[in-house]
């Protein structure tokens, strides 16, 4: 068995890289994400970083099992990446083949949220479980579904797109996908702020949120924790929609644990407990006791999950 493998997490501003050895993560570092000219430098930069690390550590390429890489877009067959909106439309080709040519190592590609799901199953909030739903709450809402230890990516690369479950069909909030009513328009950081601003448009609403000069998601949670009724109502509405969507997901894959990550999850138990309670209100009775857990790996989840693609996910 080969001793080493790489995990790569391609983000909009930085590329996170990890070298994994027999004992786990042996080294990690970052390089800038250069998206100019539709990302023409992305793969050469990554290949150069991998080769430099092998030279630095004195590792022979023949002792490397391969490279797993998470990308912010839909992936077909572990290889082909559809154009990524957050990377200046980079993609639309067999990324695995291109990177293999540049670095001389086998490559597998995975959606970044799916990579984070694999990472959390491997070493994070879902450790020990083989049936996991991961939902990440940040600027948008992403996710990943793992059934019997294997990632559910789908034939179109759309598996795990929890943020695009319809929770308010016919509403006027247009999502980045072009449709309306998507969960991420209400349960993301930007969605929560948008809901708060809509509430503040009513002068009759008395709330400490009015004192926040540049309202953020954190402000809403801070005010809610301080007992502000309007802020608490916003958080409850958000948790209710998340519980509704995740109850629908559970009817399809019946997970052992639902892991919640992303920047919004820093709200901690306040949000997690409300999500779990809402889930139980909506879930099929047999699934009501599904466990909820906070993500544990933070920004490292992507590289841990990406390397799982190489090591047998």
Phi, psi for residue 107 in degrees, rounded to 5: -135, 140
Determine the pLDDT at residue 87. 86
The string of pLDDT tens digits covering residues 173-201 is: 999 888 999 999 999 999 999 999 999 99
Determine the pLDDT at residue 239. 97
Element (H, E) at 5: strand 4-10
The string of pLDDT tens digits covering residues 248-283 is: 999 999 999 999 999 888 899 999 999 999 999 999
Element (H, E) at 55: helix 42-57
Residue 295 has pLDDT above 90, yes or no: yes
Residue 137 has pLDDT above 60, yes or no: yes
Cα 185–chain centre separation: 16
Residues 137 and 37: their CA atoms lie apart, in Å, by 30
Phi, psi for residue 228 in degrees, rounded to 5: -65, 120
Mean pLDDT of 55-70: 97
Could you tell me the pLDDT band of residue 157, with boundaries at 50, 70 and 90? confident
Query: Percent of the chain scored above 70 by pLDDT?
Result: 100
Two tokens, residue 100: 């293999």
Determine the pLDDT at residue 85. 77
Residues 124 and 253: their CA atoms lie apart, in Å, by 20
Two tokens, residue 179: 């449709």
Q: Which of 118, 123, 162 lies closest to 279 in space, CA to CA? A: 162
Please give the sequence-ordered ranges of beta strands (E in DSSP) within 88-215, or none if there are none. 93-94, 107-111, 132-137, 141-147, 150-151
Determine the pLDDT at residue 231. 97
Determine the pLDDT at residue 313. 57
The string of pLDDT tens digits covering residues 70-87 is: 999 899 999 999 998 778
Q: Which residue has the higher pLDDT, 263 or 16?
A: 16
Residues 116 and 31: their CA atoms lie apart, in Å, by 19
Mean pLDDT of 228-244: 97
Phi, psi for residue 205 in degrees, rounded to 5: -80, 120
Two tokens, residue 219: 């402000």
SS (H, E, C) 81-94: ECCEHHHCCECCEE
Query: Across the chain, what does the average pLDDT equal?
Result: 94
Q: Which of 136, 172, 165 lies closest to 252 in space, CA to CA? A: 165
- Among the ranges given (58-72, 120-134, 156-170), the one the predictor scored with the smallest mean pLDDT: 156-170
The string of pLDDT tens digits covering residues 79-109 is: 999 998 778 889 999 999 999 999 999 999 9
The string of pLDDT tens digits covering residues 159-168 is: 999 999 999 9
Residues 247 and 307: their CA atoms lie apart, in Å, by 30
Residue 118 has pLDDT above 80, yes or no: yes
Determine the pLDDT at residue 119. 96
């Amino acid at each position: 068995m080969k001793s080493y493998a790489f995990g790569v997490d391609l983000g909009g501003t930085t590329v996170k890289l990890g070298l994994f050895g027999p004992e786990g993560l042996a080294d990690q570092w970052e390089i800038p994400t250069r998206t100019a000219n539709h990302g023409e430098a992305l793969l050469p930069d990554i290949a150069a970083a991998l080769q430099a690390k092998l030279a630095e550590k004195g590792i022979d390429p023949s002792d490397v099992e391969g490279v797993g890489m998470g990308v912010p877009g839909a992936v077909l067959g572990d290889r082909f990446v559809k154009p990524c909106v957050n990377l200046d439309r980079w993609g639309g080709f067999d990324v695995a083949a291109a990177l293999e040519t540049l670095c001389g190592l086998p490559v597998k590609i995975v959606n970044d949220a799916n990579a984070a799901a694999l990472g959390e199953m491997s070493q994070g909030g879902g450790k020990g479980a083989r049936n996991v739903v991961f939902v990440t709450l940040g600027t948008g809402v992403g996710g990943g579904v793992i059934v019997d230890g294997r990632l559910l990516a789908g034939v179109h690369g759309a598996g795990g797109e929890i943020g695009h479950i319809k929770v308010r069909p016919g509403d006027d909030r247009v999502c980045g996908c072009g449709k309306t009513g998507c969960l991420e328009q209400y349960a993301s950081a930007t969605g929560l702020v948008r809901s708060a601003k809509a509430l503040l448009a009513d002068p009759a609403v008395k709330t400490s949120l009015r004192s926040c000069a540049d309202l953020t998601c954190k402000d809403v949670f801070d005010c809610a924790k301080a007992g502000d009724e309007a802020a608490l109502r916003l958080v409850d509405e958000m948790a209710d929609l998340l519980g509704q969507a995740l109850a629908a997901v559970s009817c399809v894959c019946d997970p052992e644990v639902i892991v919640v990550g992303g920047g919004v999850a820093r709200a901690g138990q306040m949000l997690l407990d409300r999500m779990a309670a809402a889930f139980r209100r909506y879930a099929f009775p047999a699934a009501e006791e599904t466990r909820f857990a906070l993500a544990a790996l933070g920004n490292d989840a992507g590289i841990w999950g990406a390397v799982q693609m190489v090591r047998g996910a």
